[in-house]
């Protein structure tokens, strides 16, 4: 394995390599020598242009990374680099759909002339053959994926008999079994923070010049979010190429004893296919659920393993004690392969230590990262809990570099935290986790109106508490927000320090799966926020748009038909909320029929602004809460509210489910 060395400025200026600036909507080529300063000027020009436009939903922003960190790296015949600019380029150049998760940026891809691929439209060159994917091919792939969703109820324990044996057989059919070990895998399990830890690891290694692949779940808007190459979601063309290759070969060999794999197994297999084919140097793999019986545990020889913070989640599958859950998580340990974890409760730590002893695993417990080590920069992922995830990622990345013989190429001194590590930690991006989105759809109307969404997919008691702490800190600092993600700043807006001070109202937009326990989640959220002086003036309970029987893409049609939607679960959530607020059960049944058969009832706009003591229950809302008939109607209703009351800033916390967070992002994107 060879670490890709960064270009120097002189190499970029004098090497006659073609520069291809790729984006779904445009392409610039500089076939001969070019000026590095001109390139930076071009980027600056596009940044400035992006701030003069206000695309719908606020998908504009500039990363926190300084442009002096711009670097490119080389591996064999082709070179690539990452310039951290949000996907505003697509909004500046054209209106074609781009994935919301591409906030990390676009790529400057350096290739020899003979290797430049045609990436316009739906064509891709592979092994000298031109592949043409029709506009419906992607949706056809989504239909195929949907057919793999098992019909068991969510939360039911899935059959695991011969699961990993079947996974090995699938890999053998695809010819991937012998190539697995050269992926140099970082395997990460845990209850909370495992996705963030994986993203931190990927960003660190990429900054060290390593070609990376990372597999995470679930996706928020588009399934391609699960597969990142060098920090970018896999392109639609490449996804289709690898998807149909896997699908056709597995379908051809399918039998009654070895049927097509269920959805997550197929996506796991697909990730290995993608990363092997793309020749990544490091593959960072997040466990789906548990560890021992998880599809990803087909990995036999990882380079290093990690376990994030453990808590009570998926108890119907993993067990109802912390020790049982820890046993599943530690199931990813492999004999003598180094492993790292964060501080755990004794019941969990004892099990982890015992498992490590059985397998002679060198196990190290990492302490939270000291923010002073970041040299004035901040973690890109917000929340105090991220310092534990960051420290774990640092240990995993350092161990990976050492075991693959690359540490000396990165660390030229005795620094405990090399600059490359700091840059990775400060630029890692993960949508839907402690993410702030300022809605810009109002810019064409009342420029003083403010609607800000705080999105976090917390769905366990521990993660809900972390979410509450983050939200409380974020709204306190709303006068000078340091958004960790996409945002829009309207140059025409009055300054927040202007002639009048806006009042702020905190609103909860909530839903969770019925396998969760809202009687635990909601009190944990309310009490943690209250302890920091943050109080919700209203709570809105809404059904998610996502259907668990169908895989959709970011471009899939959003149905406006809400007839027949069952809101009984949302009314149950409202009952729990009102009991928390008033200390007693609701005595009035809001709706006898929980299904929407006629025109949906929405609260009046004054509902958000009147004092809670005014009035009693009416239709589907109480003084402190409301059940909303659909998410699209809720977003429109919130926008209408802030336009009518521009002097009040609405700060909406969206939490309880990553599916809900993804649905909100999809709507804001549109």
Which CATH number do you get for residue 339? 3.40.1190.10
Residues 232, 109 share a domain = no
Task: Give a yes or no: residue 2 inside a domain.
Answer: no
Split at pLDDT 50, 70, 90, the class of 441 is confident
Sign of the CA dihedral running 424, 427, 433, 434? positive
Q: Do 102 and 87 meet the contact criterion of CB atoms below 8 Å apart?
A: yes
Mean pLDDT of all residues in 96-116: 32
pLDDT of 240 > 80? The answer is yes
Task: Judge if 96 and 216 occupy the same domain.
Answer: no
Domain closes at, from 55, 88, 115: 115
* For range 45-69, the mean pLDDT: 36
Average pLDDT of the residues in 106-130: 34
- Residue 493 sits in the same domain as residue 417: no
What pLDDT is recorded for position 414? 63
Give the mean model confidence (pLDDT) for residues 626-640. 94
Residues with Cβ within 8 Å of 8's Cβ and at least 6 positions away in sequence, in order, are none
pLDDT at 188 over 90: yes
Hey, is 140 helix, strand or coil? helix
Q: Based on the domain organization, do 71 and 110 belong to the same domain? A: yes
Q: Does 353 map to a domain?
A: yes
Same domain, 315 and 342: yes
Q: Provide, rounded to the nearest whole percent, the portion of the chain with pLDDT above 70.
A: 69
Among the ranges given (163-172, 241-250, 306-315, 606-615), the one the predictor scored with the smallest mean pLDDT: 606-615
Same domain, yes or no, for 408 and 452? Answer: no
**Total domains present in the chain:** 3
pLDDT at 584: 66
Residue 156 falls inside a structural domain: no
The residues near 165 (Cβ < 8 Å, ≥ 6 apart) are: none
Say if 77 falls within a structural domain.
Answer: yes
Please indicate, yes or no, if residue 1 is contained in any of the structural domains: no
Instruction: Provide the pLDDT confidence category of residue 344 given band limits of 50, 70 and 90.
Output: very high
Q: Are residues 35 and 181 in the same domain?
A: no
Alpha helices in 212-310 (DSSP H): 236-253, 263-277
What separation in angstroms does the CA of 74 have from each of 27, 109, 206, 281, 548? 21, 10, 12, 12, 41
CB atoms within 10 A of CB 338: 22
**Weakest mean pLDDT among 136-140, 440-444, 600-604:** 440-444
Q: Using an 8 Å Cβ cutoff, are 291 and 329 in contact? A: yes
Q: Which of 76-80, 611-615, 664-668 is predicted with the least confidence, judged by mean pLDDT?
A: 76-80
Q: pLDDT digit string (tens) for 491-516?
A: 333 334 444 567 899 999 999 998 88
Using a pLDDT cut of 90, give the percent of the chain over it: 57
Residue 444: pLDDT band (50, 70, 90) is: low
Show which of 398, 427, 456 is a domain's final residue: 427
With respect to residue 159, please indicate whether it lies within any of the assigned structural domains: no
Predicted pLDDT of residue 133 = 56
* Res. 311: pLDDT tops 80: yes
pLDDT-based confidence at 564, cuts 50/70/90? confident
Model pLDDT, residue 95: 33
Residues 234 and 289 in one domain: yes
Domain that holds residue 310: 123-150+164-427
341 plus 474 within the same structural domain: no
Looking at the domain assignment, is residue 476 inside a domain?
Answer: yes
8-39 pLDDT, tens digit per residue, is 333 333 333 333 333 333 333 333 334 444 44
Mean pLDDT of the chain: 77
The domain boundary, picked from 427, 453, 470, lies at 427
Of the pLDDT bands very low, low, confident and very high (cuts 50, 70, 90), residue 548 is confident
Identify whether residues 329 and 416 lie together within a single domain: yes
* Residues 357-386: tens digit of each pLDDT: 999 999 999 999 999 999 999 999 988 899
Q: What is the pTM of this model?
A: 0.76
What's the pLDDT score for residue 661?
96
Q: Evaluate whether residue 255 is within a structural domain.
A: yes
Q: Looking at residue 51, what is its pLDDT?
A: 35
Give me the pLDDT at residue 549, please.
77
CATH number at residue 641: 3.90.190.20
Residue 250 and residue 367 share a domain: yes
Whether 85 contacts 53, CB under 8 Å: no
409 has pLDDT over 90? no
What are the start-end ranges of the H helices in 61-124? 88-93
**pLDDT tier for residue 654 given thresholds of 50, 70 and 90:** very high
Question: How sure is the predictor about 436, in pLDDT bands with cuts at 50, 70 and 90?
Answer: very high
**Model confidence band, residue 125 (pLDDT cutoffs 50, 70, 90):** very low
Let me know: does 462 contact 309? Beta carbons within 8 Å.
yes
Distances (CA, A) of 656 to 223, 383, 456: 21, 17, 8
* Same-domain check for residues 53 and 96: yes
CB 476 within 8 A of CB 48: no
Mean pLDDT of 221-242: 97
pLDDT one-digit tens code per residue, 248-278: 999 999 999 999 999 999 999 999 999 999 9
Q: Which region among 9-13, 175-179, 321-325, 455-459 has the lowest average model confidence (pLDDT)?
A: 9-13
What value does the mean pLDDT take over residues 535-552?
Answer: 88
At 287 the pLDDT is 98
């Amino acid at each position: 394995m060879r670490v890709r060395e960064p270009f120097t400025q002189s190499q970029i200026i004098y090497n006659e390599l073609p520069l291809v600036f790729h984006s779904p909507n445009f392409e610039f080529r500089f076939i001969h020598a070019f000026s590095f300063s001109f390139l930076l000027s071009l980027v600056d020009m596009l940044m400035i242009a992006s701030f003069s436009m206000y695309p719908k939903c606020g998908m504009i922003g500039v990363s926190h990374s300084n442009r002096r960190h711009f670097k490119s790296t080389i591996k064999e015949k082709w070179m690539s680099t990452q310039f951290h600019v949000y996907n505003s380029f697509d909004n500046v150049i054209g209106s074609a759909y781009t994935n919301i998760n591409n906030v990390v940026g676009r790529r400057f891809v350096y290739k020899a002339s003979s290797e430049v691929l045609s990436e316009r439209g739906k064509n891709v060159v592979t092994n000298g053959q031109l592949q043409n994917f029709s506009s419906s091919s992607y949706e056809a792939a989504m239909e195929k994926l949907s057919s793999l969703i098992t019909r068991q109820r969510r939360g039911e324990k899935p059959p695991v008999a011969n699961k990993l044996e079947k996974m090995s057989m699938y890999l053998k059919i695809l010819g991937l079994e012998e190539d697995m070990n050269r992926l140099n895998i970082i395997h990460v399990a845990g209850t909370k923070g495992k996705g963030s830890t994986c993203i931190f690891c990927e960003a660190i290694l990429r900054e060290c010049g390593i070609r990376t692949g990372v597999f995470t779940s679930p996706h928020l808007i588009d399934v391609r979010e699960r597969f990142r190459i060098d920090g970018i979601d896999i392109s639609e063309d490449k996804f289709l190429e690898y998807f149909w290759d896997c699908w056709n070969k597995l379908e051809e060999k399918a039998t009654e004893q070895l049927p097509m794999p269920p959805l997550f197994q197929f996506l796991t297999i697909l990730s290995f296919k993608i990363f092997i084919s793309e020749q990544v140097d490091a593959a960072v793999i997040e466990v789906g659920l548990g560890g021992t019986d998880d599809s990803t545990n087909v990995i036999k020889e990882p380079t290093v393993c990690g376990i994030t913070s453990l808590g009570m989640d998926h108890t119907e599958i993993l067990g109802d004690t912390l020790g049982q859950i820890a046993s599943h998580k530690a199931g990813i340990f492999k004999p003598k392969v180094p492993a790292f974890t964060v501080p755990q409760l004794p019941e969990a730590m004892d099990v982890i230590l015992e498992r490590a002893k059985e397998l002679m695993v060198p196990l190290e417990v990492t302490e939270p990262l000291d923010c002073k080590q970041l040299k004035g920069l901040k973690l890109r992922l917000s929340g105090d809990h991220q310092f534990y995830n960051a420290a774990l990622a640092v240990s995993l990345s350092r161990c990976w570099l050492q075991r693959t013989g690359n540490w000396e190429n990165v660390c030229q001194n005795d620094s405990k935290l090399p600059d490359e590590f700091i840059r990775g930690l400060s630029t890692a991006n993960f949508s839907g986790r402690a993410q702030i989105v300022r809605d810009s759809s109002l810019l064409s109307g009342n420029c003083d109106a403010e609607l800000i969404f705080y999105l976090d997919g917390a769905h366990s008691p521990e993660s809900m508490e972390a979410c509450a702490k983050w939200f409380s800190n974020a709204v306190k600092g709303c006068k000078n927000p340091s958004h960790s993600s996409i945002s829009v700043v309207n140059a025409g807006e009055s300054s927040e320090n202007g002639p009048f001070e806006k009042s702020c109202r905190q609103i909860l937009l909530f839903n969770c799966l019925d396998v969760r326990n809202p009687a635990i989640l909601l009190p944990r959220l309310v009490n943690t926020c209250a302890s920091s002086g943050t109080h919700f003036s209203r709570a809105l309970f809404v059904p998610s748009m996502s259907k668990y029987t169908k895989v959709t893409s970011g471009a899939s049609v959003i149905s406006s038909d809400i007839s027949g939607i069952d809101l009984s679960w949302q009314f149950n959530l409202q009952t729990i909320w009102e009991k928390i607020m008033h200390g007693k059960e609701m005595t009035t049944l809001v709706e006898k029929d929980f299904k929407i058969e006629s025109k949906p009832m929405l609260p009046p706009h004054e509902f958000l602004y009147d004092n809670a003591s005014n009035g009693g229950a009416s239709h589907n809302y109480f003084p402190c809460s409301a059940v909303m008939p659909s998410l699209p109607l809720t977003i429109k209703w919130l926008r209408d509210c802030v336009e009518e009351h521009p002097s009040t800033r609405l700060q909406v916390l969206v939490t309880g489910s990553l599916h809900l967070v993804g649905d909100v992002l999809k709507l804001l994107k549109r």
